[in-house]
Amino acid sequence: MAEGRPGGDTAKCPGQEERSPGQVLAGSGYCKWFNVRMGFGFISMTHSEGRSVEPPLDVFVHQSKLVMEGFRSLREGEHVEFTFKRSSKGLESLRVTGPGGGPCSGSERRPKGKAPPPKRKPKGDRGAASPSSSQDPRLPRDDTHSSSPEDTPPTSQRRRTPRD
């Protein structure tokens, strides 16, 4: 016997949908908020299966579900179309696209990463630049002056002391 109202009638109340945990449904709405650093946010679903949803329902979205190139994120207020399912934690998006199934446009923000490590400077004469390479590479090279071993000043080198 069918569940629902007495007498086997399975009609639903207006605006209410019967959702089983594994059922995939389609919806559309806009991005309520999205944290680019954490990679997740929420979509406010305004339409589900072609019908208006009042009040809008929140649907969880993870960056891995976004259809777009490069860095995946959503801009606050961006209109999206998506498929979703009910999970143990609520409504969860499965695939999120832009209007008409195109790619999402995404946020202009990018997460701040760690600063690159400082470049190591050479110590002493190790790795010191030769006089010709220390010139600005944008300037023409002056190859008329050639240095001979007698012209170059001696470089100071440390002597290693023998260990006992």
Q: Residue 37's domain is classified under what CATH number?
A: 2.40.50.140
Sequential pLDDT tens for the chain (164 residues): 444 444 444 433 344 445 455 789 999 999 999 999 999 999 999 999 989 999 999 999 999 999 999 889 999 999 999 999 999 999 999 999 999 999 999 888 776 767 677 788 777 766 555 555 556 666 666 655 555 556 666 666 777 778 86
Full domain range(s) for residue 35: 25-101
Looking at residue 159, what is its pLDDT?
Answer: 75
Nearest to 74 by CA among 108, 47, 48: 108
Backbone torsions φ then ψ of 81, nearest 5 degrees? -120, 145
User: Which of 107, 112, 113, 23 is CA-nearest to residue 66?
Assistant: 107
Phi, psi of 63 (to 5 degrees): -60, -25
Q: pTM, whole model, 2 decimals?
A: 0.55
Residue 20 lies in a domain: no
Q: How many domains does the chain have?
A: 1
Q: Does 158 reside within a domain? A: no
Does residue 47 lie within any of the structural domains?
yes
**30 in Cβ contact with 22 (< 8 Å):** no
- Domain assignment present for 115: no
Measured distance between the N- and C-terminal CA atoms of the chain, rounded to whole angstroms: 96
| Inside any domain, residue 45 | yes
Tell the residue number behind the tokens 């499965």, with chain if given.
Answer: 94
Domain membership flag for residue 80: yes
163 part of a folded domain: no
What does the block give as tokens for 119?
């470049």
- Judge whether 120 lies within some domain: no
Taking the CA atoms of 139, 142, 148 and 150 in sequence, report the sign of the dihedral they define.
negative
